Amino acid sequence: MTEVRMIEASAVSERFARGWHLLGLTREYDDGVPHSVEAFGTKLVIWKAASGELNVLDAYCRHMGGDLSQGSIQGENVACPFHSWRWGGDGKCKEIPYARRIPPRARTRAWQTLVVDGQLFVWHDPEGNPPPEDVTIPAIEGFDSGEWTDWVWDRTLVPSSHCREVIDNMVDMAHFYYIHKGLPTYFKNVFEGHVCTQYFSGTTHELAATGEPIEIGVAEDQPTVSDATYWGPSYLVDKLWTKYGDMTFETILITCHYPITNNSFMLNYGMIMKKNPDFDDATNDMIATKMLASIGSGFMEDVKIWKNKARIDNPLLCEEDGPVYQLRRWYEQFYVDVADIAPEMVQRFEFEIDTTKAVDFWQKELVEKAAAKKAAAEA
Amino acid sequence: MHRVTCSRCGTAVQVSKNSAAQTSIQWDVDSSACPLRAELSVGDSCPALSDSIRDAVLAGELEVQTSDL
């Protein structure tokens, strides 16, 4: 009997990744009320204190379980809607208006926060350690220079997948053709330490369909050039150059997520665009908004795949696929204790794909489709 | 994987190639052993190492071969 390949899938890890996770933009919390985020298997409360500091605590009050995110901001503290217990950003109960004294053990879980370029992050570590100094979120060069638009931002809930699915995309060269109407001509990954990079250059279905010869293996000067890096398990910074006709738009696209449960996550994505001096600010903002909407509809295609696909631990790969196993080995470092990080999870690994056959086949396919469409229109 | 030693700095890494354009490089030493590493961005391959890999292919020491994954 011929042997058939079977899909293997272990149970989804109960554990959430160690690392910085973006919750939202700081401007979302300026409205004077506490906000809630369901994340890491629980609910968090985020509030901006009178001093301007953003604080994040477990949302469920340790008194009787009230939801602090339904309460109110009282100076520096958040007040529970149930009995008005007041909690500080350090996790300590600061005041119980109706009580003579605060119980000595009145302390809840405070989440270490980080604000970078208008983005709010929390640190998650199942071992409870603070972030190492070299594990941080890089600031964007010139973010405040006035050369960039403000953030355009959106998010979507992925209801029944582990966030490993979004990480897998880092090495998935061919899905850019089948899912995102792209046509990669150069594709390379590098993993090292807590950082994972994807170099991508390519063209689009529309341009390839013209039959104009496509340069293969060239990293620069393509209609799309992308240099994307995960800083830890969940925050991807993509320096992206997109050509439309004679114009090139330089953008920084953030794709990031936080786990809600171990089988659902919130995908956040946003961008800033280098302002084109030929346009006024409103036009630049409008272009950025449209570009993000187009990228967002691309993510919806990913989500559709994720909603319907099987979890697979033993993908069957061809030579034109990227290094899925090495990527997952890298990703695993965030799910084990620091003491258990194996050298091969963090040692440098570089992988460049040969796109020759793929580009040749895909362009032929697009040219044929365009010809068939034209013939049908003329018939 | 085949061990390739960089002719510039002597750092040895594991390399495999399944075509002329495809390259896979697994470092099993700290990449700071490469004196050029600090000046390169994380995604850049060391040009001296890339030259040494090309030389190893030309010399027949590193065979371009398919491998099942």
Is residue A199 in some structural domain?
yes
Distance of CA A272 to the CA centre of its chain: 15
- Asked if A49 and A89 touch (Cβ cutoff 8 Å), the reply is yes
The answer to whether position A190 is within a domain reads yes
Q: Which of A217, A325, A348 sits opposite B31 (nearest CB)?
A: A348
CATH number assigned to the domain comprising residue A117: 2.102.10.10
A166 within 8 A of A257, measured Cβ to Cβ: yes
B69/A321 touch (CB, cutoff 8 Å), yes or no: yes
Q: Which two tokens stand for residue A355?
A: 């796109």
Domain ranges of chain B: 2-58
> Both A210 and A337 in a single domain?
yes
The answer to whether the Cβ–Cβ distance between B42 and A355 falls below 8 Å is no
User: Nearest-CA neighbor of A19 among A169, A186, A163, A179?
Assistant: A163
A216, A347, A352 member nearest B23 (Cβ): A352
A263 falls within a domain? yes
Cα(B41)–Cα(A181) distance, integer angstroms: 29
How does pLDDT run across A62-121, given as a tens digit for each residue?
Answer: 999 999 999 999 999 999 999 999 999 999 999 999 999 999 999 999 999 999 999 999
Q: How far apart are CA A19 and CA A43, in angstroms?
A: 18
Domain that holds residue A215: 152-370
Tell me how far apart the alpha carbons of residues A230 and A221 are, in angstroms, rounded to a whole number.
23
Residues A169 and A317 in one domain: yes
Q: Which of B18, B26, B30 sits opposite A349 (nearest CB)?
A: B26
Does the distance separating the beta carbons of B31 and A319 come in below 8 Å? no
Cα dist from B69 to A117, A320, A323, A326, whole Å: 41, 11, 9, 11
Which of the four pLDDT bands, split at 50, 70 and 90, describes residue A13? Answer: confident
Count up the domains in chain A and report the number: 2
Q: State the average pLDDT over residues A45-55.
A: 98
B-side interface with A, Cβ within 8 Å?
A: 18-28, 30-31, 42-43, 45, 66, 69
Confidence of residue A217 (pLDDT cuts 50, 70, 90): confident
A180 pLDDT exceeds 80? yes
Q: Does one domain contain both A306 and A157? A: yes
